[in-house]
């Protein structure tokens, strides 16, 4: 099945203020409480050496203070999630900073996170796509979620993320047609600031376009680490490489852009973190990025959602590294593929490897989702 044939599906509806939306995750998925607790506990255990480091503890304490001052809404959502799943709120906050802790302590990651994301301008907007190469314990807790908060003045967000994590924990789109995804990138340029996981949500809640999002990103102090790919309903696309001291931006009013898992802009490349045990993962990221540009250039100007899905489903071939990963020599496993249509304000998602998993269509309104599937 191709995305153009995808059946309509309904996301989890998380409505209300941030604490209520956090609580709703467990209330709507009570059978997933053990799986979420396991995912959090497992991540904390494997990152324990970094989390015990005195510098990391100071960093996380400062992060809590920064986040409480600059984004209290995400803290309220985290508190609701923690209460719903029966997890200590401080432990959940640590969990959301495990990647940052590993970078600060130069700890070798136990599991290679990956992800490939790209955006392409279309005749009436843009398509943003992402393969989520992530931890296996997140396979059962992945969900598409639709958030609606009365303080957002009618704006809503539709995201693919994980139960136990707030807001946009991977990729998403808002009802104005702004879409954003992230990919991991280990860096030496770390410091106290806006965490990427929280920024993903903030941008969808507060911005309507790529231009607005980039202006905000340039004003904000970031923790560093990771990359963003953005697209909007006017067809603009961008890639952002997040450091603490500087931010790299590649922006096109129209075109094609993508990223794997390392900084590539000249001003940012020196901040890539090289850890001996991360060599194979970094080499794979470099090969995937080298394959991505020609794959995007090969797309016809009229390419639609099915052509984009075929890129996500690409496997290794002679002289080319693929983007759909199955563990083993791939180091990581693709646990989902998602494509966001900024003009239509909807998404299709394959929960599993996009080469085999069925695609499902989600929209902001049930009637729109059902109509699109007909």
pTM (two decimals):
0.95
* Pairing state between β 179-183 and 359-363: unpaired
List the structure tokens of 96.
Answer: 């959301």
pLDDT confidence bin for 107, thresholds 50/70/90: confident
Please tell me the predicted confidence (pLDDT) of residue 280.
83
Predicted confidence band at 274 (pLDDT cuts at 50, 70, 90)?
A: confident
**Could you give the CA distance from residue 3 to residue 339 in angstroms, rounded to a whole number?**
9
Domain 111-373 is of which CATH architecture?
A: 4-Layer Sandwich (3.60)
Helix/strand/coil for 130? strand
First to last CA, the chain: 14
Alpha helices in the chain (DSSP H): 18-28, 33-46, 48-51, 54-70, 72-85, 89-95, 98-104, 196-206, 210-219, 279-297, 305-312, 366-373
- Rounded Cα distance between 65 and 70, Å, is 9
Helix axes 33-46, 72-85, angle to 10 degrees: 110
Q: Residue length, the chain? A: 374
Does the structure show a pLDDT above 90 at 217? yes
Per-residue pLDDT, 372: 44
Three-state SS for 162-189 is ECCCCCCCCEEEECCCCEEEEECCCECC
Portion of the chain with pLDDT greater than 90, in percent: 86
Amino acid 374: pLDDT: 41
Per-position b or e across 224-242, b if 16+ CB within 10 A of its CB:
bbbbbbbbbbbbbbbbbbb
For the chain, the C-alpha Rg in angstroms (whole number) is 19
Instruction: Please report the pLDDT score of residue 263 as a whole number.
Output: 97
> What pLDDT sits at residue 343?
97
Instruction: Give the pLDDT band (50/70/90) at residue 369.
Output: very low
Provide DSSP, 251-291: EESSSEEEE-SS--STTTGGGB---GGGHHHHHHHHHHHHH
pLDDT on residue 1: 78
How do residues 162-213 score in pLDDT, each as one tens digit? 999 999 999 999 999 999 999 999 999 999 999 999 999 999 999 999 999 9
Give the count of alpha carbons within 13 A of 132, CB side only.
Answer: 26
Average pLDDT of every residue of the chain: 94
Mean pLDDT of 233-238: 98
Going by pLDDT thresholds of 50, 70 and 90, the confidence category of residue 356 is very high
Distance CA 265, CA 257 (A): 13
Ranking 10-24, 42-56, 329-343 by mean pLDDT, the lowest is: 329-343
User: Is the confidence at residue 227, as pLDDT, over 80?
Assistant: yes
User: Under 8 Å CB-to-CB from 159, ≥6 apart: which residues?
Assistant: 144, 145, 146, 147, 167, 168, 169, 170, 171, 172, 173, 201, 204
CA distance 289 to 75: 35
Q: Note the pLDDT of residue 78.
A: 98
Domain extents in the chain: 12-104, 111-373
According to the model, what pLDDT value does residue 275 have?
A: 78
What confidence score (pLDDT) does residue 112 get?
58
Range in 53-57, 93-97, 298-302 with the lowest mean pLDDT: 298-302
Q: Which of 318, 208, 184, 201 is nearest to 260 (CA)?
A: 184
Write the pLDDT tens digit of every residue in 117-175.
Answer: 999 999 999 999 999 999 899 999 999 999 999 999 999 999 999 999 999 999 999 99
Burial of residue 126 (number of CB atoms within 10 Å: 0-12, 13-18, 19+): buried
Q: Look at phi and psi of residue 315 and say left if phi exceeds 0, alpha if psi is from -120 to 50, else beta.
A: beta
């Amino acid at each position: 099945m191709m995305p153009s044939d995808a059946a309509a599906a309904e996301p989890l509806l998380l409505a209300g203020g941030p604490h209520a939306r956090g609580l709703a995750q467990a209330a709507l998925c009570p059978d997933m409480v053990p799986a979420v607790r396991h995912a959090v506990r497992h991540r904390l255990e494997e990152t324990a050496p970094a989390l015990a480091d005195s510098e990391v503890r100071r960093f996380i304490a400062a992060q809590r203070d920064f986040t409480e001052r600059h984004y209290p809404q995400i803290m309220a959502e985290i508190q609701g999630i923690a209460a719903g799943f029966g997890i200590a709120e401080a432990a959940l906050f640590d969990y959301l900073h495990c990647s940052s802790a590993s970078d600060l302590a130069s700890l070798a990651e136990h599991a290679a996170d990956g992800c490939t994301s790209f955006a392409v301008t279309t005749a009436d907007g843009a398509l943003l796509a992402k393969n989520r190469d992530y931890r296996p314990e997140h396979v059962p807790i992945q969900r598409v979620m639709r958030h609606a908060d009365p303080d957002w003045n009618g704006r809503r967000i539709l995201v693919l993320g994980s139960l136990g994590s707030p807001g946009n924990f991977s990729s998403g789109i808002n009802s104005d047609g702004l879409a954003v995804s992230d990919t991991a990138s280990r860096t030496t340029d770390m410091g106290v600031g806006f965490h990427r996981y929280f920024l993903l949500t903030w941008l969808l809640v507060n911005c309507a376009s790529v231009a607005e999002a980039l202006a905000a990103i340039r004003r904000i102090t970031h923790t560093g680490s990771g990359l963003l790919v953005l697209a909007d309903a006017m067809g603009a696309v961008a890639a952002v490489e997040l450091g603490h001291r500087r931010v790299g931006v590649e922006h096109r009013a129209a075109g094609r852009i993508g990223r794997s898992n390392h900084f590539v802009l000249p001003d940012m490349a020196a901040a890539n973190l090289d850890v001996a045990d991360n060599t194979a993962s970094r080499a794979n990221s470099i090969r995937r990025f080298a394959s991505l540009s020609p794959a995007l250039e090969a797309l016809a100007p009229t390419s639609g959602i099915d052509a984009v899905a075929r890129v996500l489903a690409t496997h290794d071939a002679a002289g080319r590294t693929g983007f759909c990963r199955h563990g083993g020599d791939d180091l990581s496993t693709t646990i989902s593929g998602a494509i966001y249509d900024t003009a239509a304000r909807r998404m299709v998602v394959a929960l599993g490897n996009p080469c085999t998993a069925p695609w499902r269509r989600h929209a902001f309104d049930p009637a729109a989702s059902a109509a699109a599937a007909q």
